[in-house]
Structures are given as C-alpha cells and as structure tokens.
A and B are shown apart, each in its own frame.
Chain A
Amino acid sequence: MTAPTTQERVSHRVPLWRDVVVLKWVTQVVLLAVVLSAMWFLATQAGDNLRARNIVSTFDFLERPIDIQLSEGIDTKPDTGARALWTGMVNTLRMSIAGILFATLLGIVVGLARLSDNWLISRLASTWIETLRNIPLLVQIAFYFSVLTTLPRVGLGTGPINGWFHISNKGISMPRVFIADGFYQWLTVVGVGAVAAHYVRRHRQRIQDETGAMTSPILWGMGTVALFGVIGIFVHPVFSWLGVPLGAIADLLDSLPVIAPQILFSVIALGAAARWITRFLSAHRSARGHLSISDDDWFRIAFATLAALAVVVMLVRWTGFSSWTLNSGRDLFEVLENKFDVDGAARPFDAMRPDIIQKGKFPNYGKSGLTMSIGFAAVFFGVVFYTSAFIGENVRGGILAVPKGQSEAAMAVGLGRGQILRHVVLPQAVRIILPPTGNQYLNLLKNTSLAVAVGYSEIVQVGQTTFNQTGMTLPVVVIWMLFYLSCSLSISVVVNWFNVRMKLVER
C-alpha cells in the first residue's frame, strides 16, 4: 500500500453530490423555484377563495366616483378613488418631509445641547430626551390634539396681525404663496442663475486657493442664485419663446409610433445590463488581467442578463406601458408649452390672505389661506418631538464616538474649537450618525400613519374610508403597502448613497 500522490488526488473525479460548485448551483435554482411556486400557489389560492366567497377584488374603484370628504389636502372633495388615495399620499408625504426636516434640525440641537458644558442646558436636553422617548407616540399625539382643541372657535379666533394669521380650534391659517402663470419662465431664469452660480463659486474658490483670502465661495454662489431670482421677477417674459421648441417636442412625441419607446427602453435595459456586466468583470480582473469570478458571481451575471431579457419581453408583450409613456410625455410637453405661452404681465408668484367662510352652521377657513389643521399640528409635533429625542441621542453618540486623539491632534496643530468641530469631528461623526438616523427617518414615515387617531387625512385614514365605502379591502391594503414600501426604499437609497459616499477609505 502506498499513499496516493498529489497527482492522483487531483485527477480523482469528484462525485456530483460532493462537488460544492454543483451543490451551490442546485441550491440557488431550487430555492428560486420554491419561492416562485410558493408565490404562485398563494396568489391562485387567495383568488380561488375570494371567488368562492363571492368577494371581488379589483382596482376598478380607483376610477369610479366616490363620496368622501377629506379634512385637508390638494383636493378635499375628490371625485374618484384614485384621486382620494392620491390626496392621502400627498398628505403623508407632506407630513413626512416636514417631519424629517424639523426632527433633524431639532435633533441636532438637542444632541449638541446634551453635550454642552453648561449644566442647565445639558439637563434640559436630557429631560427632553428621556420624557419624549418614554411616552408612546400615540399618547403624545392625543395629548397635543387635546391641548389644541382648547383653542377658541373660528369666529372668536385670534387674528393678530390684521387678518394675516388666524389661530383657532380649526387650526392655524396663514397667507399662502402659490405659483402663478409666469412661474415656469421665472424658474428658467433661476436655472440660468444656478449655472452662473456654479462658475461664480468656482471662481471665488480659485481666488481663495491662490491667495488664502477667505472668499466665502458658497455664500457667493447662493447670492448669485438669489440675485437671478429677484431679477427674474421682472425679466422672466424673455423666456416665453421656449414654448415653441417645447410644442415642437410635443408634436414629435405625438407622431412617433409605439415601437419607438419599445426600442428605446429595450436598448436602455440591455445596455444597462451589458454595462453592469462589463464593469463587474473589470472590477474582478486583477492588474495582470487575471479574471477571478466565483460561482455566485456567475449567478449574478446570469440574473442580470435574465432581468434585462425579461424587461424586453414585457415591453413587447405589454404595449400599454410604451404607449402610456408616449402619451404622458406628449401631455407633459403640451402642458409646459402652455405654461410658457402666457402674456408678459403674468407674475411668477401670487399670495392670498386667509379667509373665513360660513359653511353651513359653522364658520371655517376658506381655501385662500394656507391652513394647518390641528390634526396636522398634533401629528407634526408628535413625530417631530418624538423623533428628535432619538436623533439627538444619535448625534450625541456619534460625536462621542470620534476618538479623543482626533481632537487632541487637531488642538496640537493649533486649530480652534470651531475649526476642530467643523473640519475634524463633525465629518467623522456624520458617518456614525447617519445610518441610525436613516432608520429614524423610516420610523417617522411609518409613524405618520398614527394620524388616523386624530383624523388627519393621510393615506391610511383615506384608505380606511375608501374600503369602508367600496368594500375593496385587499386592493387598498396592497396600495398602502406598495406606497410605504416605495417611500421607505427611496429614503434608504438616499441614506445609503450618502453612506457609500462618506465611507472612510481603508486599504
């Protein structure tokens, strides 16, 4: 008996059930098949059961008339289900965007305050955080709402500055600035200003780099945009000729056959896949041109190819999407053409003061002012205060997590306190603060659904009313889920993009 040589061991054929490469591929394919068939089974089963119980689940209600009254939003008396849900979505987004903005600002203040050397300030910040994050948000919203309902009625409401502001138990109404006919021409002027600002900023930066003088390039850039904005109010009609090329584009889109977008989108899908694959391959190629690709990598490449092909097949089979993009593209450019085709006297903005109208028995705010209902206010204060407590803790933790040696090294080269914070501590703290704060943004978005408790017409409240009237529970819930999912994923994409951009470069 002699031990097998290396040569013998290598040439020995591995049986399939022991070959890791084969096993890996089989698992991937089997898993994919199981997932797809499970989904198929559940979908058909649900469809059969619903049919058996005579429950019809369709999305038809979206286009049917609906009798619904919303508390506030772009359309308080929507005529179709789709319009009602859209109003709810806009209200949710309005609340979320405002909430994220103010919770961030307040959170930064609270976090920095908690780190303050000043005993009173840091105690106050701790109390703020500990109180707010330990009371359920729903209770807080109910509290703000009940406090706000103690405000006087509209008729007796306070209008401090000669009718410019009204505060009552129907909410706060203030002057509304809205875009008027000349807005798009004015926007074009501002766009030109943004391009100019880019060059101004670069020029000021170059002067600063060459002479060392503090030239505040960013401030100059913003000033340039502001200057164009002001000038634009007077000169915006110079861009009215833009309506002609926009109209030409609309006509062109109108004359194109459906095959054009089909070809375009197919080329984009295939091109994107090809680009991704070539980049992927070159990223896995060593400096000497050696390609090292694992089995998982092959699976990714196969998946990218399949996804691109699936898009092409869908485009060919389902021409509706292509003709829809053509039509809506044409509509968009027609609208833009009309927006530019206005007489020179049109103003970019208009403003209106709040008004009070008699609606049946009770007075209420009319449409001319910008009104924040107490429902909105209660939810807004709720999510902003609640989230600011968590963001404040993130900010504090992030700043404390920057090693002490960093500020010592910065002190040792003579940087002042503010400079250390700006150039050394904050850039590193942001990397630590951002990921958990992104989670707080997701929480805030989802928490806005608690507005259903105080009757603020966001997507959940509108959806509930809609399915109470139409009986289409499942479709509405599906719309809710898709809406929240796409909002959350958008936030995640933005936060991840920042994370990747700011990642420290290691070897």
Chain B
Amino acid sequence: MTDAATEPTAEPMSEPAAGQTRDLSNARDMIVCEDVSKWYGDFQALDGISTTIKEQEVVVVLGPSGSGKSTWIRCINRLEVHQEGRIVVDDVELTNDLRNIEQIRSEVGMVFQQFNLFPHLKVIDNVSLAPIWVRKKPRVEAEEQAMALLERVGIPEQAHKYPGQLSGGQQQRVAIARALAMEPRIMLFDEVTSALDPEMVKEVLDIMKTLALSGMTMMVVTHEMGFAKEVADRIIFMEEGQIVEQGTPQHFFENPTEDRTKLFLSQIL
C-alpha cells in the first residue's frame, strides 16, 4: 500500500479499479482482532490472531484446510465463540452481551459454503424475512427492496420460486442478496464457491467483485486465486490457527517471504 496517493485529500475513498491497491490507512477500523484464540478440546483452532481490517478493505484469507480460516471468520459474527483475546466490530466489542451480539449480527452479512437458504420460503421471502422481523420494515417496502437486490444479483425472474428450484449459482446469489438486505457494513464470505459447479463459480465471483467495487468492507475465505489476485487489497495466509504472512496480492504471489507460504503457493499454482 505504498504506490497510492499519500495525501489524504487525494480521494483515497474513490473507487479504484479492481486489483489496484488503495491507501486505506486513514479509513476507520471496522474489525479489530487482538490476540484471538480458540480451542476445540485440546485442539487449538485459533492461536493469537491479531489484525485490523479497515473500512472498505477487501481481505482474502487463504490457507490449507484445517488452518482455522472458517473458524476465524465465524468468530466475527459470533457463530463461534472465541475464548481469549478481543474482537471489536464497528466499535462494538463481542462479549456475552446479547444486545452487542444482535447489533453486530445485523451489521455483518454472511454467505456460507452450503448457501443455507430457507427451503420452505420463496426466494423473495428468504431475502425479506430479516428486514421484516429484525428491522421491522413494512412488508411492501421490504419486498420492493428484495426485488431491487435480486435485480442487482441478476435473478429477479426467480423471485417467486423456491430455493430447491434454483441452480447452485442462483442459490448462492440469493444468499448474497439475503445478506445484503440487512444493509450490512461488513460482508463475510466463507468458501462461497466451493460447493458450486465450475461453470457457476464465475457468476458468483462477478457479483462479489461488483460488491467490492461499491466500497463494501469484505472478508473472503476462498480458494479462488484469480479472485484473490484481482480483487483483494490484502491477503492473509493462515496455517495452524496463526497468521503466517499478510500483504498485497502482488507481494503475496510474487515475493512471499515465509517458507510455508512458498510451499503453499507451489502446491496450488
């Protein structure tokens, strides 16, 4: 993050082309992790994770399976509970306080590997459920918003079908629309293309790119190296519950410093 403008007045927040590194050093902190650790019995899943994610930053988390990527991302909206350290999301600390948890969950959208759409509800009801019941929006308004979001992810014609009638790629796009319906400030993506047929991966990645360009703060766990190279502001490489190395895509793919990173890259590229 050195080649962008150094002057804070030089529009650091304007929309740069994808893949181009931006200076986000003056942006506010959206996610702060300090020494976060978690154990499953004797197995340590997270081992002292410390990092700060800025507003509008797109962070891609890479690493071999079992390295704790998913556990970490699930700690951020408290689907998993961390046992040591602090996690602060948008100036609210994640504690056992139910009110904090609910506030953070309604500000953090999440998309899952297995879509997890509600199979008994129509697509449009999947998207409008939370705005109606959590945000207390009038149904008419929530459905208009849902239609606009489905338009945005390119499947307005599927609004009145059930998830089971859609292809995997379409379902994942609905899942993105459902998360966006809560107007989140942060989006978490947990291996969202891993369960998709190859020809459907692109349609989902394209939507994530557009979302990144629109200035959304994003944290993405993925195995799509092309996406990481093109869209990420920063890549975090994890192994055995620790952050091994982090940096710009350029640094990460071309001049990695750590041996473990080099090994990982040699195995996947």
Contacts and interface: CB of A to CB of B under 8 A. Distances in A.
Interface of A: 208-212, 214, 403, 405-406, 408-416, 419, 423-424, 427-428, 431, 502, 504-507
A408 B136 CA distance: 21
B139 A208 contact: yes
A505 B166 CA distance: 11
A405 B114 contact: yes
B4 interface: no
B43 interface: no
B1 interface: no
Residue of B77, B106, B116 with most chain A CB atoms under a 10 A cut-off: B116
B268 interface: no
21 contacts: A209-B138, A212-B136, A212-B138, A212-B139, A212-B141, A214-B136, A405-B114, A409-B112, A409-B118, A412-B110, A413-B129, A413-B134, A413-B178, A414-B102, A416-B102, A423-B118, A424-B118, A427-B120, A502-B120, A505-B162, A505-B165
Interface of B: 77, 79, 102, 105-106, 108-110, 112, 114, 116-120, 129-130, 132-134, 136-141, 161-162, 164-165, 175, 178-179, 181-182
Residues of A contacting B: mostly: helix
Contacts of A411: 77, 79, 105
B161 to A, nearest CB: 8
Contact of A405 (B112, B129, B130): B112
Contacts of B140: 209-210
A403 B164 CA distance: 15
B131 to A, nearest CB: 9
A209 B139 contact: yes
A506 B138 contact: no
Contacts of A410: 118
Nearest to A409: B116
Contacts of B120: 427-428, 431, 502, 504
Contacts of B134: 413-416, 419
Contacts of A424: 118
Nearest to B141: A212
A431 B119 CA distance: 12
A411 B79 CA distance: 8
Contacts of B117: 409
Nearest to B178: A413
Residue of B112, B118, B179, B181 with most chain A CB atoms under a 10 A cut-off: B118
A452 to B, nearest CB: 44
Contacts of B108: 412
A210 B144 CA distance: 12
A505 B108 CA distance: 30
Nearest to A427: B120
Given A210-B138, A414-B105, A414-B134, A408 B112 contact: yes
